[in-house]
Chain A
Amino acid sequence: MLTKPRLEPKSEDGFTLVELLATMVAGIVVLMALLTIMDVTLQNTTHAFSQVDATQRARPAFTGIENELHSACFADEETPIQTGSSPTALIFLSSTGTAATPTELWHEIDFNGAPTNTLVDNTYSTTQTTNSNGVPVWNRGSLQSSRTLLTNVAQSRPSASQPLTPVFQYFAYQTAPGTDAAGNQYEILPDGTAPVPGTSTTVFNPLAPGAALNGTQAATVAEVMINLSVGPAGGYNEKTNYSDVGTAVSDSITFRFTPAANHVGDGATFSPCE
């Protein structure tokens, strides 16, 4: 009679319950740490992406405005910035087009605050007259187009404790602290972005802060500074818990063809479009 060989019992070595529990706990700790890192990293990535998105949206719009403003000096004794320009409305003339003879256009770039949060370029035709001195004057005509340059924009703020920065600020040449080697006092555009060369003073003194420019002020504007906080295309809270997503964009446009005079009495003047 054949007898079935007796099977030897298999090894009973393995994880004990304690080992299993310890491994699970360690794995959970590692996974929790990983998840935390992922969460923080993803938030930061989203934040950075949002800022890049905002910057990439802002730059073309700002470049477009700069190009229009750089075309604002097109006639002798014409002043680029127009009366009524304010912290939320930039009114100026520009001469652009593809034809051999560019067309003079009247622009009004309006910042619309909450809840609209847009920057809109309204373009008007112009009518030309002559003032009492025989100098051509361009007037606002009919609305030609209205184009939204940016959405999800707001006024920027240097810091939480400081007030909102006006969207449009205007600067005319003024004397600044410091003199050159001949003792002549410096003239500068006081936009406060950098120390005046030759001095260590940063001067910030915009025209008519918080108000609209009158005719005299508008005629002296030689620099416009634009300050905005531009959010990503999806809005300020796009896929992130951060509430401050958006990039503060500040650009200045100077209406000069040649360097200004070194000081009063030199050949070049301190007017715009010189």
Chain B
Amino acid sequence: MSALITTLIATAVAGALITNTDIIANQNSRSQAEALAEQDQERLKGLSAEQLDNLGQTYTAKAGSTSYTITSKAWYLSTSNGQSCSSSGGASATYFKTISTVTHTNATGGVQTLATDESVISPDAGGSLLVQFHDQTASPLAGASLSASGPESDAGTSDANGCVIFSGLDSGTYALTYTDIGYVDPNGNSSPLSDTATVASTGITAPGKGNPIELGQAGGLTGKLVQTVGSPSPNTAYASGLSWFSSGGAGIPMAAYRSHSVTPVASSIATTNVAGSTGTGGTGLFPFVSSQNPVTYTNNYQVWAGTCRSEQPPTGYDMVTVAPGSTQTPSIQTPTMLLTVKKSNGSITAPTDVKVSFTDGTCTDTWALTPSSNGTQVATTSTYYFGVPFAASTTTGSGASASGQTGTLTVCADLKSGSNYFKATSAAFTSSFTATTPLTVSLPSSTVTSGC
């Protein structure tokens, strides 16, 4: 019994002593850690603005026989002590916030934070440039590169908030380059993209295009034209090229429609990419979002035959889904034209070459039809089927009707394979996806020397 009591007392005393030693050792560790944190704060004062901007550095240091892990962080603060460039938008870069955290990993793998020290550092006098990159969901885009060249040169990469900030810049005009390989702006312009900024001697400057700079991983498509109605075979269609437009998404608009011309044009309008690539070159398609939560890209583009905006068919036709990095091979509808050409004497003839033009006053689109080789002949007549762009009036897709859009076309016909064109304005022509539309052209008695 007495031995048991002695053992219990001894254990309790030993436990108390060990606990006491642990407490003292912990105090010692905290004291050493605080000194290391102070020293790291002092070190940060010697770094440049570029090194401080979004600094996230971890290194180890020994004090006595103990190793500590020191984490240094620094970023620009706004006037309201928030992040200068946060996901909610940019603000002025007033100070650098610096934080040094010292931790120790114990024998069991537990990480204990022993000391944290923080302060602010005033940036250099001079102008600042703040560029914020967003992706197609209007969220910060990290990893985009910005270079500025002007009175001095600087370069940086966007952080998790999508921001790059250059401070202490000499005033003047800077040429900016945004680079993110495989990315395009909302209008489909491929990276690297150019911009300018005029930096004042003080304060913060946004790029000429304004913040945020939106970049999305490009998608691409290869379109194939098909006739919607009629039963000609082969099912061929002709156009001068393809056009595409998106109404945008996540508050990001597409500034203007884009088109891609190809010559010659046939049913498979191109074997290579028509509207974009995911690589370093070419034209790409910005992946506008259709909905944000969850993020989808369904039917975010409309694609049509022809190179004019006013050839755009009614809303909802030939919608294409372009997701980041995706490639699409959609079939694009064309109205079916039943072309009949009459000589000045009223007889029907089969021209060797026909050019049909459409104009809305600002945009003219011409597509070539060669009846003998590409047209689909109706029985033994001189009448031919062609798939053609949805073009008949200046009304664009939003106001057009799938059942018909009536207007006129200009036709140039060469009857003798000698580039001696007869030019005429067609009778009323109705573009329609639902019915074959006849187009009869009565040629004048003499050829023209221009305009065809």
Check B28 against A261 for contact (C-beta < 8 Å): no
**B295 sits at the interface (CB 8 A):** no
- Residue interface mask A6-39, B partner, CB < 8 A = 1: 0000000000000000010011001101100110
Q: Quick one: closest B residue to A37, CB to CB?
A: B14
Contacts of B2 in A (CB 8 A): 23, 27
Contacts of B14 in A (CB 8 A): 34, 37-38, 41
User: Which stretch (A49-57, A86-94, A120-128, A132-140) binds chain B?
Assistant: A49-57
**A75 sits at the interface (CB 8 A):** no
Contacts of A197 in B (CB 8 A): 47, 51, 55, 57
Number of interface residues of B (CB under 8 A): 58
Q: Which bucket holds chain A's interface residue count?
A: 35 or more
Contacts of B47 in A (CB 8 A): 188, 197, 259-260
| With A31-B6, A247-B64: A260-B28 Cβ-Cβ less than 8 Å | no
**A265 sits at the interface (CB 8 A):** yes
**A252 sits at the interface (CB 8 A):** yes
User: Which stretch (B150-158, B226-234, B267-275, B421-429) binds chain A?
Assistant: B150-158
Check A249 against B35 for contact (C-beta < 8 Å): yes
User: Which stretch (A96-104, A111-119, A179-187, A205-213) binds chain B?
Assistant: A179-187
Check B123 against A258 for contact (C-beta < 8 Å): yes
**A77 sits at the interface (CB 8 A):** no
Tell me the bound Cα distance from A27 to B42 in angstroms.
57
Contacts of B55 in A (CB 8 A): 197
Tell me the bound Cα distance from A258 to B2 in angstroms.
72
**A164 sits at the interface (CB 8 A):** no
| With A248-B64, A258-B122: A27-B157 Cβ-Cβ less than 8 Å | no
Interface of A is mostly: mixed
Count of A-B contacts judged by CB separation below 8 Å: 177
CB distance from B55 to the nearest CB of A (A): 6
Q: Which of A225-274 contact B (CB under 8 A)?
A: 247-254, 256-263, 265-268
Contacts of A184 in B (CB 8 A): 153
30 contacts between A and B (CB under 8 A): A30-B3, A30-B6, A30-B7, A37-B18, A38-B13, A45-B17, A45-B21, A52-B27, A52-B31, A181-B157, A182-B153, A182-B154, A186-B51, A187-B48, A189-B46, A194-B72, A197-B55, A254-B43, A257-B122, A258-B168, A259-B45, A259-B47, A259-B121, A259-B123, A260-B49, A261-B48, A262-B49, A265-B153, A266-B154, A267-B124
B: residues with CB less than 8 A from A are: 2-3, 6-7, 10, 13-14, 17-18, 20-21, 24-25, 27-28, 31-32, 35, 38-40, 42-43, 45-52, 55, 57, 59, 61, 63-64, 70, 72, 96, 121-126, 145, 147, 152-157, 167-170
A: residues with CB less than 8 A from B are: 23, 26-27, 30-31, 33-34, 37-38, 41-42, 44-45, 48-49, 51-52, 55-56, 59, 66, 180-184, 186-189, 191, 193-198, 222-223, 247-254, 256-263, 265-268
